[in-house]
Structure 1
């Protein structure tokens, strides 16, 4: 029969082993990532469908390490700022500091990803690239909440409607259909979305004139809250790991989103 000291020592050892077994699970930090409908990056997250590039990126981040668990929190383009400021989300991804974040405390992480906003019109006899040079007098179809460079990043719907004769929707598909049906002269869409749209709608490929003019290059950043459980430096290292193992290229290259060099710290 074991003496009391022996039983005590054995009990302490078991407790220590149990603590070691439990600690890794307790140490996982949950990082809440805002998911706003922004195809092809995020597609209707409020419906619970894990489709789009953001869910793919989050899955890759979660599989690449065990210190953090990234979780998607549905939000919207207009609501994402309030959710971030009020602590419902820790991070916004595929953002740019110029898109309304300047007065909100945050840390910025360069994601090393580039997309573009381009102009699309209906093909007509004699219509050439110079059609896109001047937007005056043309009916524009824009995505509500987006910040466009031609409008000095002013996303106010009233300003866009009055200054640029713009109709604003929450669907790139709707905007392209407006162009195809003659209800708008020009739609602005992201290059990645247009590429995906034409793959899904090959019959209209020859009906659309795509601009060589680019409204803006989307250089994507992650916006982190000062209270986020992960630092900008740590998140940057996780992204670099995905770049090094080829996951970033695998996720984004099919959509013609450029994976570009990021200066190492």
Structure 2
């Protein structure tokens, strides 16, 4: 028979063990939609996703233990349905103007800005004025993207009929079309072009990059009404990543600007 003091000691140890594991058990899972959107999310045919979104999710999970952020595969066209049907709790690197106006959500300003720019093949007589008028030019676009020059209409038929556009799911393919004279202009994000030129230094002199910007991407996180994390709570986590330098470390190499977040 064990003594009363030994029994009490065992009960205390058991209670401490329970308290020790409670934080990990209490972590609420937050499902983040991961659509192929280079360089934010790169979804290879096999293997794990790479890009800025996986880096951000890892940093969020390392910052705290209240929430466990996990990536859920989706696609650019399918992400709206996945959000509405509750398959994902959050869409990151979004903008409410990109087809979200009729879908209930909470908007969180991420304080990040990228830009969409025009790229053409460099030729002796070709100057910046080449980008001023898109009429009559063959465009290479990323399928599903919302472009300002097209009034954010992402319908493939509309873009093909009105802007002589070829749509693909690869910025690399679009830039190759320009280099091989199969398209006159490709539109790519500044962040992607920065990464592309690091990987393809030899073609840098063959490309003419526009000073004209189609649009500035001001990034937001969109939270479902049923998401386990609130807008203010997620804003606080993002501020924590700013304070510890992780936001700058993740985004600065891709020329994505950290800008002040307006106080609510």
User: Given the two structures, how large is their TM-score scaled by the length of structure 2?
Assistant: 0.95
Gaps of 5+ in 1: none
1:100 aligns with 2:99: yes
- The SS at the match of 1:37 is coil
Q: Deviations over 1:78-127 (max 9, x none)?
A: 11111111111111110000011111110010000000000001111211
Residue of structure 2 equivalent to 1:61: 60
**How many Å separate the matches in 2 of 1:145 and 1:155?**
6
| Residues 118, 190 of structure 1: 8 Å contact kept | yes
Q: Secondary structure at the match of 1:146?
A: coil
Question: How many residues of Structure 1 are paired with residues of Structure 2 in the alignment?
Answer: 264
For the 8 Å contact 1:36–1:45, the answer to whether it is kept is no
Which residue matches 2:202? 203
Shift of 1:24: 1.4
Corresponding residue for 1:135?
134
RMSD over aligned Cα, in angstroms?
1.7
Q: How far apart are the structure 2 equivalents of 1:42 and 1:94? A: 10
Instruction: Provide the rounded CA distance (Å) in 1 between the counterparts of 2:188 and 2:262.
Output: 29
Partner in structure 2 of residue 214 of structure 1:
213
CA distance in 2, matches of 1:83, 1:247: 29
Cα offset for 1:17? Answer: 3.1
Q: Distance in 2 between matches of 1:45 and 1:95?
A: 21
- For residue 47 of structure 1, give the secondary structure of its aligned residue in structure 2: coil
Residue 48 (structure 1) shift: 3.6
Report the TM-score when normalising by structure 1: 0.94
Whether 1:194 aligns to 2:205 is no
Q: 2:2 and 2:160 mapped to 1: Cα distance?
A: 85
User: SS of the residue aligned with 1:31?
Assistant: strand
Aligned to 1:32: 31
Q: Which residue of 2 aligns with 1:117?
A: 116
**Which residue pairs with 1:149 in the alignment?**
148
Q: Do 1:116 and 1:214's aligned partners in 2 also have CA atoms closer than 8 Å?
A: yes
State the Cα distance separating 1:22 from its structure 2 match.
3.2
**How much has 1:9 moved relative to structure 2?**
6.1
Tell me what 1:260 maps to.
259
Which secondary structure does the structure 2 equivalent of 1:118 belong to?
Answer: strand
Q: Mark the CA change 1:165 to 1:114 in structure 2 (over 3 Å): closer, same or farther.
A: same
